[in-house]
Amino acid sequence: MLGRVLERLIDAQSRWAKPLGEWLHGLMAAIFGRMLPIRDFLAGTWLGHPLHALLTDVPIGALTLVIVLDVVGQPVAADVALLVGVVTMIASALAGYADYSTTDGRARVRATVHSSLMLVSLVIYVVSLAIRATGPTSRTLPIALSIVAYLILAAGAFVGGDVVYALGNMVDRHAWRPAGAKWQSLDVGEIAEGTLVKAKAGTQALVLIRSGDTIQALHDLCAHAGGPLSEGTIVMGCVECPWHGSRFEIATGLRRRGPTVYDQPAYEVRAVAAGGYEVRRIS
Ligand code: FES
């Protein structure tokens, strides 16, 4: 019940978040589109894990500590924790904006609400930090500002969690796909050399690539956000996704370029004596 009310409240923000999101997404896509290695680094392609999710734990921990230290009367420690919180919040925001540059639809609207709340919270924290740095006779105002900022931070974290857990943004699209050594027959027509050919193996959609007598296959659904790899292009031994440009090695499914932080399921293909082909997952 409460969850539904909160969800409606968040969705009601789309009136301002949608146009703002379109503008902000255009800006971030233009910035990160010019520096893909930096975008991929911030996304966590090198790590195989979304960097933003990892970084957000640090400021939330430090900024929770600020409240505790302020309450127990440890001003110096509280100010240091606040400084750590602000610096790591900025680092976390950079990683978040790298992810934001490839969001779409409802996830983008909610990510806009999330980033707006975090930005307001960050500004209030910076003001609190600046006042603390002047050595004020009374710490009431900066402490009050920190508490307000923390409440906004908590609301922002709630919405950010929704972007991942409710809408599946930056979640591996193959997380629940079973591995397995079982051969399955392949439903496919002609497999022309050097082109991406869509095929079916049971309920699985695959993309096939022939090179001479060798046929290799990847799952068709991009691990990043579900783009159709069969509509992509072949680039330097990889399939490039048509949606955001992630590249996966044809032979292994290993990610070679982000924004994906996950590898793509790869399949072995064999011809059967009776005609046709079979596939089985290899990674
Ligand atoms: S869906 Fe985003 S790169 Fe494929």
pLDDT given at position 181: 73
- Amino acid identity of residue 159, one-letter, is V
pLDDT given at position 103: 93
Tens of pLDDT, residues 91-112: 999 999 999 999 998 899 999 9
Asked if residues 261 and 43 have their Cβ atoms less than 8 Å apart, the reply is yes
- Which residue among 39, 220, 222 has the greatest number of ligand 1 atoms within 8 angstroms of its CB, and so is best to mutate? 222
Tens of pLDDT, residues 56-93: 999 999 999 999 999 999 999 999 999 999 999 999 99
The number of the ligand 1 atom at minimal distance from the alpha carbon of 244 is 3
Q: What is the 3-state secondary structure (H, E, C) of the chain?
A: CHHHHHHHHHHCCHHHHHHHHHHHHHHHHHHHHCCHHHHHHHHCCCCCCCHHHHHCHHHHHHHHHHHHHHHCCCHHHHHHHHHHHHHHHHHHHHHHHHHHCCCCHHHHHHHHHHHHHHHHHHHHHHHHHHHHHCCCCCCHHHHHHHHHHHHHHHHHHHHHHHHHHCCCCCCCCCCCCCCCCCCEECECCCCCECCEEEEEECCEEEEEEEECCEEEEEECECCCCCCEHHHCEEECCEEECCCCCCEEECCCCCEEECCCCCCCCEEEEEECCCCCEEEEECC
Q: Tell me how far the alpha carbon of residue 227 lies from the centroid of ligand 1, in angstroms.
A: 5
Q: Tell me how far the alpha carbon of residue 101 lies from the centroid of ligand 1, in angstroms.
A: 12
CA–CA dist 51, 58 (Å, integer): 12
pLDDT given at position 31: 95
The domain locations on the chain are 2-165, 184-281
Q: Tell me how far the alpha carbon of residue 96 lies from the centroid of ligand 1, in angstroms.
A: 17
- Which residue among 32, 218, 246 has the greatest number of ligand 1 atoms within 8 angstroms of its CB, and so is best to mutate? 246
Average pLDDT of the chain to the nearest whole number: 94
Enumerate residues lining ligand 1, CB below 6 A: 102, 222, 224-227, 241, 243-246, 259-260
Residue 210 forms beta bridges with which residues? Answer: 193, 215
User: What is the pLDDT confidence band of residue 262, given thresholds at 50, 70 and 90?
Assistant: very high
pLDDT given at position 9: 86
pLDDT given at position 1: 74
**pTM (2 decimals)?**
0.89
Q: Tell me how far the alpha carbon of residue 219 lies from the centroid of ligand 1, in angstroms.
A: 13
CA–CA dist 225, 170 (Å, integer): 7
pLDDT given at position 283: 84
For 166-177, what is the mean pLDDT?
91
Asked if residues 222 and 241 have their Cβ atoms less than 8 Å apart, the reply is yes
For 235-249, what is the mean pLDDT?
96
Tokens representing 64 are 């929770």
Tens of pLDDT, residues 177-222: 877 778 989 888 888 888 999 999 988 999 999 988 899 999 999 9
pLDDT given at position 5: 84
Query: Looking at domain 184-281, which CATH architecture does it have?
Result: 3-layer Sandwich (2.102)
Rounded to the nearest 10 degrees, what angle do helices 14-33 and 75-100 cross at? 80
Tens of pLDDT, residues 115-162: 999 999 999 999 999 999 999 999 999 999 999 999 999 999 999 999
For 219-239, what is the mean pLDDT?
96
pLDDT given at position 221: 97
Q: Which are the contacts of 181, defined by CB distance < 8 A and separation ≥ 6?
A: 280, 281
CA–CA dist 76, 180 (Å, integer): 56
CA–CA dist 230, 219 (Å, integer): 9
Q: Tell me how far the alpha carbon of residue 247 lies from the centroid of ligand 1, in angstroms.
A: 9
Residue 218 forms beta bridges with which residues? Answer: 207, 266
User: What is the pLDDT confidence band of residue 264, given thresholds at 50, 70 and 90?
Assistant: very high
